[in-house]
Amino acid sequence: MDNTKQDFENRKSEIENYFKFLLIFDDDSTKIQYEKDDKIIIKKIQPQFQTILIANAFLILYNLIESTVRNSIIEIYIKVENDEITFDTLSGNLQKIWIKQTTDKLKENNFNHETLREYILVLANNILEKETVKLSKDKMDFSGNLDAEKIRILADKIGFDKVVNGRNLVKIKNKRNRLAHGEQTFYDVGKDFSVGELTDFKDETFVYLDEIIDNIERFISERNYTKS
């Protein structure tokens, strides 16, 4: 999990720096100073600018959530492949995921019976010949829908321990999606939140994701990706 942990810490540091920047503009007396045509210009920060910065924090926080969950799950997939785990020794949860990933393409084409039979034969041979299972990270399509409930569903599907908190993750997801899909402007999203509220969201997100990483690291160290 070293790579995931390092990436998580790097992204947290970026976010902390962003929030320090937000706090500067939270002071009504804050002004910016710049030089133009050999003159020093001093201007007061417009409140709308701070509101836009607040809204942008939802994008940054959601990016952290999705990247951390994705990277953590990929660590499981990498471990399965590196340990040369075969289907018969793979955990029941991951067997279902591998079967789904392997057969998803059947939904994408109109197979005739002969082609379908050949496909099933190849799939059966892969299992019987004990080939190493390769789980695809490209099949993880979160589509901007990760919140605490969705992550709990993922935990059930894969088998790692769930995290019970994270109630504000759904708000982060929803605000991010309204921005990403153009449903609301940055001002419309940001005007209802203070820097203090966003700081609480940030802190809760950090704690939640720390626990997710710990749970998946324990899942890997206890080899719960294999059958008991």
| Mean pLDDT of the residues in the chain | 88
The mean pLDDT value for 60-72 works out to: 95
C-alpha closest to that of 193 among 166, 170, 175? 175
pTM of the model: 0.87
Cα–Cα distance measured from residue 112 to residue 117, given in angstroms and rounded to the nearest whole number: 9
Could you give the maximum distance between any two Cα atoms of the chain, in Å? Answer: 79
Q: How confident is the model over 119-139, as pLDDT tens digits? A: 788 788 878 888 898 998 887
- Average pLDDT (28-54) is 75
Query: What is the pLDDT, as a whole number, of residue 8?
Result: 96
Give the three-state DSSP class for 37: coil
Given a contact cutoff of 8 angstroms between Cβ atoms, the answer to whether 202 and 1 are in contact is: no
CB-CB neighbours of 220 under 10 Å: 19
pLDDT at residue 64, rounded to an integer:
96
196 token code pair = 């203090």
198 compared with 128, residue with greater pLDDT: 198
Q: Are 148 and 169 in contact (CB under 8 A)?
A: yes
Q: What is the pLDDT of residue 22?
A: 87
